[in-house]
A and B are shown apart, each in its own frame.
Chain A
Amino acid sequence: MKAVDLVRSVRVLSLTLLVFGVRAPLPAQDDLVAERSAFALWLANAPDSPLAALAQQAIGAGLTLGPADADVPLKNSAPMTVREEGRSVTLIQQGTRTLLTRDRLTAIGPYQLRPTGPSGRSVLTVFGPDHRTLIPTYYPSDARFIVTGSLAKPASRVTHRILMLDGVETEAIEAGVLTAALESGPSKLKVYRISDEDSGESELVIYFQDLTNGKGSYPAGRFVTLIPRDETSYLLDFNRSRNPFCAYSSAYACPAPWPGNRLSMEIKAGEKY
């Protein structure tokens, strides 16, 4: 049913635009409207929504859950320990061992647990049954914040471990530096490629700061992904900028700003805070 509601909300929105005679001065952004509606629904309903997150912590030498003095206190829950053993993650509860599958949710009573991250340095995210209420808000779409740019590749392959917007350490390849013609002049932004081996998909990600941070947008900065345009150029659409999950819940680690990715202008586009 949720998907049907989503379609309806998109239609209501486009209908509103029609009634008020507003025409977005933009190339077709229907997909952006759909993307945002889907994201809002996911935040409100998904069992692993950041709005249901209770904690995200490194498993380390063993993470205790349950009692008030545990690493992660959980109401009405028996004491549990999560350990990383070799390459797998195990939950020990009253002498019973349960294997927690990496990157997947396992329900334990009213809670959902998910181990993620590289083996040896896994983190556990704990989700509760209730969702806080938060509806993301956005600056009005503005064509001035859609620019094209080309990517200058680094001389050699450099791999880093960075925190992605969900606070999880991820392997990233330096994809290069994008030069974008912004109103304040040409700006250089560092771009990382994040790949998912299973699906064969990858994203060219930019984590940037600008002069709206703390004054309308999230203080730590925002994430945006590049859209390939042709063989040599990319579309950078700041209207698609998103907050890291730490903006929705203090359970998440906030990625540190990427050095050099601070723009000397206000990007009044994308997600607000």
Chain B
Amino acid sequence: MHPFLLALTFISPTGPWKAVLDLAGGPLRFALTVEQKGGTWQGTLCNGTQCQELSAVRVAGDSIVFDIAAYAATIAAVVKGDSLIGEYHNVGRRGPRTIPFRAAKGRWPAEKSPTNLTGRWDAQFLTDFDASPRVIELRNGKAGLEGTIISNTGDYGLFWGHAQADSFSISHFDGSYVYMLTGQIKADTLRGIFHAGLRTQTRFIAVRSTGAPHLKSPSEITTADTAPFRFSFPDLEGRQITEADPRLRDKVVVIDVFGTWCPTCHDAAPALVQLYNDYHDRGLEIVGLAYEVSGDSATDNHQVRLYRDTYHIPFILLRAGTNDTEAAAATLPQLTNFTAFPTTIFLDRTGRVRRIHAGFYGPALPQQHATLVKEMRKEVEELLSEK
């Protein structure tokens, strides 16, 4: 067919699409699905089994635009034959960020990976002058190769991808974070590149985990002084609440330092609600300290209320400040080396800090998630048994 006629032929965008972002270091795969419901276009973006609804899909002639409102990002493309060709955009302070995008009709195959790749790997990420530890987990899941990357303070979310012989590629694209891990196994050593955005490439080298701890324990990162833990922040109704609040007197208190903008905090919320429901009768209180985006009390309170209602949070939530790590650290001066959202602080009945856990392991890490929840329960039980 003549190219002009081909371009003018209308192809319905309905159905599944094998989508790709073309990074400098190779293609990052993800899946898009488009459907029309009651005259409205809708879409989902998936990394393997993990999917999110797109806020809007706009179709005009042979142009299609996918909106990812949470991150003020869009994918804009034109239908060319049975392909979509376009770009992914989001906006930074120094201008727009553009990554080439393409898609073909169909579904990515779910392929089992060779078992010499799966398992837990102790990695070093090598930047100009530093090496920093990460753990890479690879496993076969429903949609093919799955995995995640864990740092000292948490995980990078669920990655999904594929393997061929001794090489693999897994990625995580949620509309804002653009991450891809590619590598190859050679004689028991895994080498490769961690790609962030269009052009950032960080080399890594990894060996199979021996079981010895490779990362700093999350309970050894942030520390506190020995004085009773003090705070004073407004609740969602504007009342100033401090550690001396009668509800907290002689109680075991868990402080959850979080933000509604933080995906890992959303992962932690159900676990904290469960903890509260199981131990509140025996003397546990939880106080969530929200560090929000806008700094405007009405906007931030609204966000926190949405979060509270989504997870049916029965415990105290306070608006503590904005999500700048430095600014947050300044509001909790008793902590040293505050680095992660969420950070969970365990106080005994005298109000002293007994344990601080930086970060949280989400459901992308089923095993660590289960272990962490078990440890948190154990810690609470021990503190409750102290009189």
Contact = CB atoms under 8 A, between A and B. Distances in A.
A157 B87 contact: no
B100 A34 contact: yes
B327 A88 contact: yes
A200 B95 contact: no
A264 to B, nearest CB: 28
A47 B100 CA distance: 25
B179 A8 contact: no
A4 B65 contact: yes
A153 B89 contact: no
A250 interface: no
B154 interface: no
B76 A6 contact: yes
Interface size class of A (residues with CB under 8 A): 35 or more
A69 interface: no
B197 interface: yes
Interface string B146-188: 0000000000000000000000000000001111000000000
A86 B78 CA distance: 49
Contact of B129 (A116, A156, A200, A226): A156
B238 interface: no
Interface centre among B58, B128, B296 (most CB of A within 10 A): B128
Contacts of B86: 7, 34
Interface residues of B, number: 43
Contacts of A227: 24, 199
A87 B330 contact: yes
B201 interface: yes
A7 B78 contact: yes
A104 B58 contact: no
Contact of A102 (B100, B130, B177, B324): B324
Contact of A101 (B96, B177, B293): B293
Contact of A203 (B91, B130, B199, B296): B199
Interface string A162-193: 00111010000101100000000000000001
A210 to B, nearest CB: 22
Given A164-B94, A173-B128, A87 B324 contact: yes
Contacts of B293: 101, 104
Given A39-B96, A200-B196, 4 more contacts: A6-B76, A8-B63, A102-B324, A199-B177
- Which 7 A-B pairs give the minimum distances between C-beta atoms? A99-B295, A3-B76, A201-B197, A157-B129, A200-B196, A38-B96, A201-B200
13 contacts: A3-B65, A7-B76, A43-B95, A86-B327, A88-B295, A156-B129, A157-B128, A168-B93, A173-B128, A193-B128, A203-B199, A228-B24, A231-B203
